[in-house]
Amino acid sequence: MKLRVIGPWGAYPKAGEATAGYLLEAGRNRVLLDCGSGVLAALQRYIGLPELTHAFLSHKHYDHMADLGCLQYACLIDTDLSRRELPLQVLLAEEHEGDWTVPLMRGSAANGVSVKETVWLEDGVRLSFFRTDHDAYCLGVRVEAQGKVLVYTADTRYDESLIPHLSGADLLITEASFYADFDAGRYGHMTSAEAAKLASAAGVKRLMLSHLPHFGEIERLKAEAAAVYSGDIVLAELGMLAEL
Ligand SMILES: [Zn+2]
Ligand SMILES: [Zn+2]
């Protein structure tokens, strides 16, 4: 598996960058994990849009789905130009479907997923979903392929019930929206130290802090996490590639 960071920012993108978005390559699958603001432009530095097979939307906050509409226009155009053979499979929580704000268009197909469900992709790639503690209905995803495990928490408060879903991950991508001395739960998010506490309790091998804040010195997030968690810690940045 390979994981490329497309969007490391929470809320809104830094100039020329993007909010939540990660490109997962696993076997023949090319899966976009979240499709935030700026993701579509940044993504094309690394992959042609017709190559995308799936897009997973964790929840319907704009910093995770703002570019979904334009991604579907691309699917429509690529389908008409015979550059895309199969519809893009859009995986989103079935609890969303009734009030999802972007209607799904030809060239893409919606597949509701629930926390009870396991989705198998090509080449034995397994996706399982779990509910996080956030203001909107939000799903995290655990990806298992070729004996490796990657987990993406999307947005969440600190919640120890997440630990079994993160357990033993080779790479955990988690949000670190605030610095350690902040009451992040009030905003539905976690601090660097809370993210690290979960990683430590779950025996995670590598921790990527993402969904980063637009204030303060973000290197401080890493130092705060290192005080709690002894494994490798990286701060997500545009284009960063993690191989599992
Ligand atoms: Zn967010
Ligand atoms: Zn959110």
Closest CA to 88 of 100, 103, 101, 105: 105
- Over residues 132-147, the pLDDT tens digits come to 999 999 999 999 999 9
User: Residues of the chain with pLDDT > 90: what percent?
Assistant: 84
How many domains would you assign to the chain? Answer: 1
pLDDT of residue 35: 97
Q: From the CA of 122, how far away is ligand 2's center (Å)?
A: 29
Report helix, strand and coil shares of the chain as percent, to nearest 5.
25, 30, 40
Q: From the CA of 236, how far away is ligand 2's center (Å)?
A: 17
pLDDT of residue 188: 97
Q: From the CA of 187, how far away is ligand 1's center (Å)?
A: 11
Q: From the CA of 29, how far away is ligand 1's center (Å)?
A: 25
Examine the pLDDT at 111 and tell me if it is beyond 90.
no
Mean pLDDT of the 88-110 span: 72
Mean pLDDT of the 91-110 span: 69
Residue 124 burial (10 A CB sphere; 0-12, 13-18, 19+): exposed
Contacts of 82 (CB under 8 A, 6+ apart): none
Mean pLDDT of the 61-67 span: 96
Q: From the CA of 116, how far away is ligand 2's center (Å)?
A: 21
pLDDT of residue 101: 52
Q: Mark the residues whose beta carbon lies below 5 A from ion ligand 2.
A: 61, 155
Q: From the CA of 214, how far away is ligand 1's center (Å)?
A: 13
Contacts of 167 (CB under 8 A, 6+ apart): 202, 203
Q: From the CA of 47, how far away is ligand 1's center (Å)?
A: 23
Q: What is the pTM of this model?
A: 0.95
pLDDT of residue 115: 72
Q: How far is CA 192 from CA 72, 104, 179, 228, 241, in A?
A: 34, 35, 6, 9, 21
Q: From the CA of 80, how far away is ligand 2's center (Å)?
A: 34
User: What value does the mean pLDDT of the chain take?
Assistant: 94
Which residue's structure tokens are 């401080």? 220
Q: From the CA of 181, how far away is ligand 1's center (Å)?
A: 20
Q: Grade residue 92 by pLDDT with cuts at 50, 70 and 90.
A: confident
Examine the pLDDT at 97 and tell me if it is beyond 60.
no
pLDDT of residue 18: 98
pLDDT of residue 52: 97
At position 58, the amino acid (one-letter code) is: S
Distance CA 234, CA 239 (A): 13
Q: Which helix (H) or strand (E) holds 141?
A: strand 139-145
Task: Give the number of whichever ligand sits closest to the CA of residue 211.
Answer: 1
Q: From the CA of 178, how far away is ligand 1's center (Å)?
A: 12
pLDDT of residue 105: 73
Mean pLDDT of the 194-222 span: 98
Which residue segment(s) compose the domain that 19 sits in?
A: 2-243
CATH code: domain of residue 192: 3.60.15.10
- Over residues 157-186, the pLDDT tens digits come to 999 999 999 999 999 999 999 999 999 999
Q: From the CA of 2, how far away is ligand 2's center (Å)?
A: 24
For residue 191, what is the DSSP state? B
Examine the pLDDT at 100 and tell me if it is beyond 70.
no
Query: CB–CB of 14/39 below 8 Å?
Result: no
Distance CA 8, CA 235 (A): 9
Q: From the CA of 103, how far away is ligand 2's center (Å)?
A: 20
Q: From the CA of 101, how far away is ligand 2's center (Å)?
A: 15
Q: From the CA of 136, how far away is ligand 2's center (Å)?
A: 6
In three-state secondary structure terms, 125 is: strand
Task: Give the number of whichever ligand sits closest to the CA of residue 11.
Answer: 1
pLDDT of residue 96: 64
Examine the pLDDT at 110 and tell me if it is beyond 90.
no
Examine the pLDDT at 116 and tell me if it is beyond 90.
no
